[in-house]
Chains A and B, each alone.
Chain A
Amino acid sequence: MEKQRVIILACGSFNPPTFGHLRMLEDAKTSLESDGSQVLGGILSPVSDGYGKKTLINAIHRMAMTVAAVSGSDWIHSDGWECSKPEWTKTVDVIAHHQKEAEKRFGNDVRVLLLVGGDVVETFDKFNSDGTPVWSSDDLSEIVTSGLIVQPRPGSNLEKTLEAMNFEKR
């Protein structure tokens, strides 16, 4: 059987990056490899300042910190495409961008998988204060079907959230 070749993409504020973020990628890689996949790389993509969270420091600094955080890694790198845009980019579009880049570099059989903490999954069924859903349901279906790796965090109840939303677990 051909090995599935994958890239792990981690989106987040990285405000600042922690060992928790980096362990998430290391754990995901170990787990994908034991399932027979080949992990070609990992990407940390800090969110743009346009995301608008008050505590978010300038993307220049968050980008520099993720660069520093992965300086000792031989497979994870940070990418400034998302945070160099002034406006917020939807996660599906960030995935699509990196999918395209990965295909250019590694060929059409490579797949970009989004890696999120369990706390992110719990926002899948939440609403903004203006009543609109945090995530569009089309985007979510796309993300979940294209490949999502979830790392539970203590206190997150993701199976319940995913089941309630009728997504199939991968």
Chain B
Amino acid sequence: MKRVALLAVGSFNPPTIAHLRMLEVARTHLQTINTQVLEGIMSPVADSYNSKPSLIKAFHRIQLVREATKTSDWIRADDWECSRSTWTRTIDVLTHHKQQVTEKFGSDVGLMLVVGGDLIDSFTRILPDGSNLWNPADIIRIITEFGLIVLPREGSKPLETLEKMNSLAQYSDVVTIVEDEVCPTAVSSTRLRAAVSAGKSIKYSTTDDVIQYINDNNLYKV
């Protein structure tokens, strides 16, 4: 039986049930193809990722992910990425965690990246300074050396985006695309931030512990 760990990267600003469902659905899918999932790692991005005022401090975001995963017996928060002062490329985050899981579980254990469909759409994004957000060589390494599982989101067309990118089209069939048929949800962190700021209830769109932390620390109120 193949053994893997799963890595989810993102802002988690705040984490929602969609982030957690993403990992659950990926694990269920892997189990049906005879792959054992040993752990799920949620790694919030560092503060230096962007200067948007909506991105609250990593100090809070890592705490929110800890709250979100409190009741899970296989998903945990990891602060390696967000404790660094500079932004870390995803390939380097994967390399770090691959080493960690190898030490923890053995060298036969793979590490796969789990992402929402909107992240695939960001593969073509150009940064304000004109450089690519994603280095195509990195994406190819992520797909071929690690493994990429994509959960499409409302309005995202991950497969189309991949096929349109010349350098990636040939890899589109080794990317795993899984839909959450049990709980298709359009919840997003953006919607939750807007709701908190408008004083609307966000209960049942993330975990109670996350909501408690948001309230206790008066987050997203502006």
Contact = CB atoms under 8 A, between A and B. Distances in A.
A72 B208 contact: yes
B203 A22 contact: yes
B183 A30 contact: no
Contacts, number: 20
Nearest to B182: A18
A89 to B, nearest CB: 27
Contacts of A23: 203-205
Interface string B190-206: 00000000001101110
B168 interface: no
Contacts of B201: 26-27, 29-30
Interface residues of B, number: 8
A73 interface: yes
B139 interface: no
Interface string A12-34: 00000011001100110110000
Q: How large is the interface on A (under 10, 10 to 19, 20 to 34, 35 or more residues)?
A: 10 to 19
B213 to A, nearest CB: 15
A23 B203 CA distance: 7
Contacts of B208: 72
B183 A19 contact: yes
B116 to A, nearest CB: 18
Interface string A59-73: 000000000000011
Nearest to B208: A72
A29 B199 CA distance: 12
B17 interface: yes
A22 B204 contact: yes
Given A19-B17, A19-B183, A73 B203 contact: yes
A5 B203 CA distance: 22
Contacts of A22: 203-204
Nearest to A76: B203
A73 B208 CA distance: 10
Interface in B104-141: none
Contacts of A29: 201
A144 to B, nearest CB: 26
A72 B205 CA distance: 13
A23 B208 CA distance: 13
A69 B221 CA distance: 28
A101 B200 CA distance: 28
B16 to A, nearest CB: 11
Most buried by A among B17, B204, B205, B208: B204
A27 B17 CA distance: 17
17 contacts: A18-B183, A19-B17, A19-B183, A19-B204, A19-B205, A23-B203, A23-B204, A23-B205, A26-B201, A26-B204, A27-B201, A29-B201, A30-B200, A30-B201, A72-B203, A72-B208, A73-B203
Interface of A: 18-19, 22-23, 26-27, 29-30, 72-73
Given A26-B204, A72-B208, 15 more contacts: A18-B183, A19-B17, A19-B183, A19-B204, A22-B203, A23-B203, A23-B205, A26-B201, A26-B203, A27-B201, A29-B201, A30-B200, A30-B201, A72-B203, A73-B203
Interface of B: 17, 183, 200-201, 203-205, 208
Q: Closest 9 CB pairs between A and B?
A: A26-B201, A19-B204, A22-B204, A30-B200, A23-B204, A72-B208, A26-B203, A30-B201, A26-B204
